[in-house]
Structure 1
Amino acid sequence: MNIALIAHDKKKKDIVNFSIAYEKILEKHNLFATGTTGSRIQEATDLKIHRFKSGPLGGDQQMGAMIADDMMDMVIFLRDPLTAQPHEPDVLALMRLCDVHNIPLASNIGSAELLIKGMERGYLSWRNVVKQSD
């Protein structure tokens, strides 16, 4: 599966800890991340990550393009709901694309853990059926 890992500044430590905790699962998949998030995860783990630009510099839009082209299977985007983001329209567009294309989206650690554990158990296999029927 292709999995996006994104985090706002105040959530970067959380996504790094998440990546460390689930490294054995994540290493079996193709990982994509925005710039700083990807570099922090790579520094803390042995995961191979394709890094895009930083979110505010176009990374969110690069992820959005993959989602729109049905090239992303899951998005883990740890958002900071208490801090205004200058690129909020890009964030909302990315989330909207996930909804339009039925891409599972986790916006906090609780939902991220449910998605990753569900994926490990095969609960997201419906995505493969949908892709094959297109």
Structure 2
Amino acid sequence: METNEIYLLKKNMQLENENFIVKKGTYLKVVGLHDVSDDLIPTKVVVQFDKINGHYLINEVDFKNQLENNSLYPITAPKYQINDCVTHQNHGNGTVTLSNYDKILKTYLYTVKFKTGSLVVLENDLRNCQ
């Protein structure tokens, strides 16, 4: 795991030393790693949850176990960023104004401003401007 990687919880997660459970369907972002250089101290993964304030520490071993047990689904970074110029087969060139990962479709949806107006478009339907 690397800093800035994003995951989707596929199962509820009980946080160690915390009084609550994070529900499945919540996004988790890795914001840092602690004690990476010290082999005697287990590395802690610093995470931030979608819609939950604060940062939380998870043991690296526990985090890797969650990945192996398919409790976490890795989310790739969006292909296009806000203000990127993109081309759509039917609507021509436009500018990305918003991107959002769809949990059901398991892909990014982009709001793109075209000359004819703004539309929500699947990532696979877009190309970089020429």
Provide the TM-score with structure 1 as the length reference: 0.27
TM-score, with length taken from structure 2: 0.27
The structure carrying a bigger strand percent of its residues is: 2
Q: Max radius of gyration: which structure?
A: 2
Larger relative CO (CA 8 A, sep 6+): 1 or 2? 1
Q: Which has the higher helix share?
A: 1
